[in-house]
Amino acid sequence: MKAIQYNAFGSSEVISLVEVPAPEVKNESDVLIQVKAASVNPLDMKIRMGYMQKMRPVQLPFTPGLDASGLVVAVGTGVTQCKVGDEVIVATMGNAYAEYVVANENFVSLKPKNISFEEATSLAVNIGTAQTILFTEGKLDKGHKVLIQGAAGSVGATMLQLAKNKGLYVIATASGKGVELVKSLGADEVIDYKTQDVSTLVKDVDLVADCAGGETQAKLFEVVKAGGKLLSIAGMPSAELAEKYNVDARFISSDLSAKSLEYGLTLVSEGKLKPFVAKTFSLEEAAQAQDFVSAGGVNGKVVILIN
Ligand SMILES: NC(=O)c1ccc[n+]([C@@H]2O[C@H](COP(=O)([O-])OP(=O)(O)OC[C@H]3O[C@@H](n4cnc5c(N)ncnc54)[C@H](OP(=O)(O)O)[C@@H]3O)[C@@H](O)[C@H]2O)c1
């Protein structure tokens, strides 16, 4: 089969298209999927640059790709949640930029029928991450107040929709054309982070969901109520500031299991949560696809179309 691989860490120049044997079902919980589309996530580039080798090491040669959509073509003897011929969404944490991928059935969800493979592949990382931050770790419910930093980004726009469907009060930060996007998704308040200072405009939120990281994270402590939470998917929060402001501040790794995706995918099938695909590329163009995401300013997911 065709797959993307690299043998060294570095810029997108390390990426090449290769012929490798297709993976096979080896364990009773394995599902073999013919990949229709795979998504490009910022973590793909952090792994490719070698930045994740301490925290989440990968072995070379490595095939990138954290999530995909496709058709089930074989299943292990113990698989009960899907069958050959099903259209599915899968979180793989590697190996998805390829014509076939194998995953444990706990990470395979049925694709909502009302969306394309292209749209479906944009969902696993986004929904799993949003669910983990808002509900599994954040423990938010109707009426709670959340500030989403980076709400027009790929994860942020999904998190905003999940939050509004649950009846949360959402303050969204965005910039440029992202400001109109987050308004259209129902944000109760919008802050243009390039021209406004969030720390003077917002106070006492139950949770800050930080999807951007960087130096601006420090200011976010000032907007959380005492005893509230600052959960980040994009950088380790300062323990010193957490103590100073009496905030439960943590870096969160998302739960991308099928169970974690259940609520979000139900909303998708009911037409209440919209996937956003910013641009598509072919497998041969995987390096350009990654560079496009790295350049920034993208609203929505960049998707690689495969079979
Ligand atoms: N821990 C986990 O399990 C996990 C899971 C998924 C993703 N992530 C990480 O989460 C981050 C977001 O992922 P993504 O796919 O949503 O990326 P993305 O689509 O690039 O979104 C990032 C967003 O952050 C915004 N942003 C950048 N600087 C900002 C600032 N100073 N203040 C406010 N917003 C700012 C950007 O807005 P502009 O375009 O307007 O600059 C953009 O909308 C990445 O670092 C990714 O690796 C972690």
Distance 148 CA to ligand 1 centre (A): 10
Is 51 near ligand 1, meaning CB less than 6 Å away? no
> Tell me, what amino acid is at 218?
A
Ligand 1 atom closest to 178 (CA): 40
- For the segment 251-292, what is each residue's pLDDT rounded down to a tens digit? 999 999 999 999 999 999 999 999 999 999 999 999 999 999
**pLDDT the model gives residue 297:** 87
Cβ atoms 125, 41 nearer than 8 A: yes
d(CA 93, CA 200): 39
- For the segment 89-137, what is each residue's pLDDT rounded down to a tens digit? 999 999 999 999 999 999 999 999 999 999 999 999 999 999 999 999 9
Is 131 near ligand 1, meaning CB less than 6 Å away? no
Ligand 1 atom closest to 253 (CA): 3
Over range 143-155, report the average pLDDT: 97
What are the residue boundaries of the structural domains of the chain, listed by start? Answer: 2-123+275-305, 126-251
Ligand 1 atom closest to 233 (CA): 1
For 258, counting Cβ atoms within 10 Å of its Cβ (0-12 exposed, 13-18 middle, 19+ buried), the class is: buried
What's 126-251's CATH class?
alpha beta
d(CA 179, CA 217): 19
What's 2-123+275-305's CATH class?
alpha beta
d(CA 294, CA 44): 10
